Amino acid sequence: MSDPSPSNDPLLKSLQDAQSRISELEALQRDHEQRLQELRDQACLMESMLRTLPLDFWVRDRHGRCVVQSDFSKQVWGDRTGNLLEAEPLDPETMSQWRAVSEKVMRKEVVRREVQQVMPSGERRDFVKIAAPIVEEDEVVAFLGIDLDVTDRKRAESLIRAQRDLAMALNATADLDEALGKSIDAVVRVSGLECGAIYLVNEDASLDLAFSRGISQEALNDVALFEACSPQARDVAAGQPLYTHRDRLPPDRVEACRREGLRAIAILPVYHERRPVACVTAASRTSDVVPDTARDALEALSALIGAAIARIRAEQTSRASEEDLRLRSEIIANLAEGVVLVRAVDATIVFTNRKFDELFGYGPGELLGRNVAVLNAASPPRSPEDIGNEIIASVNRQGVWEGEILNVRKDGATFWCRASVSTFHSSRYGLVWIGVHGDITRRKEVEEALQREQKKLRRLLDLHERDRKLIAYEIHDGLTQKVVGAKLLLEAFRQLHPGKNDGQWRSYDSAVELVRQSIEDARTLINGVRPPVLDEFGLVIAIEHLVHDFQRTGCPGIGFFHAVEFDRLASPLECSIFRIIQESLTNACRYSKSERIEVRLAQQGSRVRAEIQDWGIGFDPAAVQPDRFGLDGIRERAQIFGGEATIESAPGKGTRVAAELPIVEVPAE
Three state DSSP letters for 73-91: HHHHHCCCCCCEHHHCCCC
Residue of 136, 139, 143, 153 whose CA lies nearest to 111: 143
What is the rounded distance in angstroms from the CA atom of residue 90 to the CA atom of residue 84? Answer: 12
Q: Is the pLDDT of residue 490 over 60?
A: yes
Q: In the predicted model, what is the mean pLDDT of residues 160-165?
A: 82
Any residues with CB less than 8 A from the CB of 150 and at least 6 apart, and which? 114, 126, 127, 128
Rounded to whole angstroms, the Cα distance separating 53 from 71 reads 8
CA-to-CA distance for 149 and 146, rounded, in angstroms?
A: 10
Give one DSSP letter per residue of 209-258, joined into a string: EEEEES--HHHHHHSSEE-TTSHHHHHHHHT--EEEEGGGS-HHHHHHHH
Stretch 332-341: mean pLDDT, rounded? Answer: 70
Mean pLDDT of 229-242: 84
The answer, yes or no, to whether residue 349 has pLDDT greater than 70, is yes
Question: What is the reported pLDDT for 658?
Answer: 95
Please state which of the ranges 55-69, 112-126, 140-154, 515-529 shows the lowest mean pLDDT.
515-529
Residue 248 Cα distances to 239, 254, 293, angstroms: 19, 8, 22
Q: Which CATH class is domain 154-317?
A: alpha beta
**Residue 324, amino acid:** D
Check residue 316 and give its pLDDT.
Answer: 75
What pLDDT score was predicted for residue 449?
Answer: 78
Is a pLDDT exceeding 60 seen at residue 528? no
CATH topology assigned to domain 535-669: Heat Shock Protein 90 (3.30.565)
Q: Which residue type, as a one-letter code, is found at position 297?
A: A
Provide mean pLDDT across the span 77-92: 73
**What pLDDT is stored for residue 646 in this prediction?**
92
Quick one: 322-436 is in which CATH superfamily? PAS domain (3.30.450.20)
Nearest to 565 by CA among 602, 592, 532, 598: 602
Residue 259: the pLDDT is: 86
Query: Which helix (H) or strand (E) element contains residue 53?
Result: none
| pLDDT higher than threshold 50 for residue 70 | yes
Report the candidate in 473, 486, 481 with the shortest Cα–Cα distance to residue 526: 473
> Has residue 228 got a pLDDT over 70?
yes
Output the pLDDT for position 558.
92
Triad 237, 243, 244: Cα angle to 5°: 110
CA atoms of 210 and 422, how far apart (whole Å): 37
Mean pLDDT of the chain: 80
281 contacts: CB under 8 Å, gap ≥ 6: 196, 197, 198, 199, 265, 266, 267, 268
Q: Which CATH number fits domain 52-148: 3.40.718.10, 1.10.1200.10, 3.50.50.60, 3.30.450.20?
A: 3.30.450.20
- 571-609 pLDDT per residue, tens: 878 888 988 998 899 899 989 999 999 999 999 988 999
